[in-house]
Amino acid sequence: MSSKRQRTRLKILDSALRLLVERGYHGVGMEEVARDAGVSRQALYLHFQSKAELLVAMAQYNDEKINVPEFVRLKQETNTALEALDSGVQAYGVIEPQIYEVASIVYSARRSDEAAEAAWQDRLAFRRGNIRRVIERLDLEGRLAEGWTVDEATDFAWALLSMHTYEHLVVERGWPIEQFVGRLSLMLKKVIVAPREGVND
């Protein structure tokens, strides 16, 4: 059974998650989060050193709650790098909507907050690592397009598979997620994948 401390922590994180997503980092104070969680304001400082740390913990908490459907996870062990690329973009399309709200709060807080900046950089590095593995495999299979190094192609794909591409096309412009994923997938193949003679992938 979970300890009281853990339960309180979760109550706080749940409240913070809901309220901060609704009204943004500077739109909600510690007082209100505490009231919503049913604890005193001071209790928040017993669990988190500062508001910024609460934000970071909240982002972590949200990450842990992400639901990645079986069919996406299964595709992880794929035959070719090309399939891996496809399933990677697919996973991006599934994950991004679930983390976008929180990630964008962290992103906006990072300019005036070191903890948020560190959390953001962690996220960037993690994603870049995943992408790099796919690109390396692509290179190994001789399917990396001419004129690209592994590093460059990684940077490029990483920049395109970012929170902000999602924000621009899906959030701002209202693209359906399937269209979004489809276009990105096609585009990446056209640009960083070398064509195989006589075959359409």
Where on the chain is the footprint of DNA (CB under 7 A)?
1, 3-5, 7-8, 29-31, 38-43, 45-47, 49-52
Least Cβ distance, residue 190 to a second copy (angstroms): 5
176, amino acid identity: P
Of 128, 178, 179, which is closest to residue 157 (Cα–Cα)? 128
- 97 is an interface residue for a second copy by CB under 8 A: no
Positions 136 through 175 that interact with a second copy (CB under 8 A) = 152, 155-156, 158-160, 162, 164-165, 168-169, 172-173, 175
Least Cβ distance, residue 36 to DNA (angstroms): 12
Among 10, 76, 191, 201, indicate the residue that binds a second copy (CB under 8 A): 191
**Which is nearer to DNA, 42 or 79 (by Cβ)?**
42
Least Cβ distance, residue 180 to DNA (angstroms): 35
